[in-house]
Amino acid sequence: MPWISTIAPEQATGRLAEAYEWQAKRLGRPTEFTQLGSLEPEIVHARLALYKASENTSSALTDRQKNIASHVTSSVNRTPHCVSRSRIKLRELGFDEEVLAAVESSHFDGLPPEEAAVARYAEKLTRDPASISAADIEDLRRAGLTDHEILDVNNQVAHLNYTNRVANGLGLLSEVAPDFPAFDTVPV
């Protein structure tokens, strides 16, 4: 249970019910994360809209790169709920347990270069946002990222730095079940 009150799906009305139904169209229900904002329905709507835009950027970033960015961010921020969600995705995308465990401790040697570059940027931007320099962007370009992919990975890391703090800061510390449909949380 989170530390502030929330409104359950069966009690939601009006704008909140609309937002819940939007996410439920695909997932069958709103996530626990979505429910965290339910005291202010407009927050719920705006978060879902940003989430949808963030996950539909159409850059050439691979699913593996995008979810590595999320996983590193949530691991550095020590956000068990979000880590459990990205871990499911990375398993489905073919990562083995040993590499995942290393990534969760910010060891990226087991990753191919184009994924390690994304992981390094994610770790640095999360730990010390002011330390990023043009050289870090050059590192991404050398790994094959163009401006579109750089915008995408920056947004992914920055956005997770938002959602991690919503989860940790309001007491959503539980992990999702291993069979949670982690790819289905993005509203259509």
How many chain residues bind another protein (CB under 8 A)? 54
Give yes or no for residue 144 binding another protein (CB under 8 A).
no
Quick note: the x/- pattern for another protein over 80-119, rule CB under 8 A, is ----------------------------------------
Closest of 20, 24, 12 to residue 44, by C-alpha:
20
Stretch touching another protein by CB under 8 A, among 51-59, 64-72, 87-95, 109-117: 51-59
CA–CA dist 187, 22 (Å, integer): 6
CA–CA dist 95, 62 (Å, integer): 14
Give yes or no for residue 43 binding another protein (CB under 8 A).
yes
> Residue 183: exposed, middle, or buried by beta-carbon count in 10 A (0-12, 13-18, 19+)?
middle
Closest of 146, 96, 145 to residue 119, by C-alpha:
145
Q: Are 163 and 33 in contact (CB under 8 A)?
A: yes
CA–CA dist 5, 1 (Å, integer): 9
Q: How far is CA 163 from CA 7, 108, 167, in A?
A: 19, 23, 6
**One residue of 112, 113, 144, 169 binding another protein per CB under 8 A:** 169
79 in helix, strand or coil?
coil
Taking the complex as a whole, how short is the minimal distance between the CB of residue 179 and another protein, in angstroms? 26
Task: Report the site for another protein in 22-41 (rule: CB under 8 A).
Answer: 36-37, 39-40
H-assigned helices in 77-146:
80-92, 97-104, 113-127, 134-142
Taking the complex as a whole, how short is the minimal distance between the CB of residue 42 and another protein, in angstroms? 5
Give yes or no for residue 15 binding another protein (CB under 8 A).
no
Stretch touching another protein by CB under 8 A, among 26-34, 43-51, 61-69, 100-108: 43-51
Stretch touching another protein by CB under 8 A, among 26-34, 91-99, 164-172, 174-182: 164-172
Binding site for another protein (CB under 8 A): 3-5, 36-37, 39-40, 42-43, 45-47, 49-50, 52-54, 56-59, 77-79, 121, 125-126, 128-132, 134, 137, 147-148, 150-152, 154-155, 157-159, 161-166, 168-171
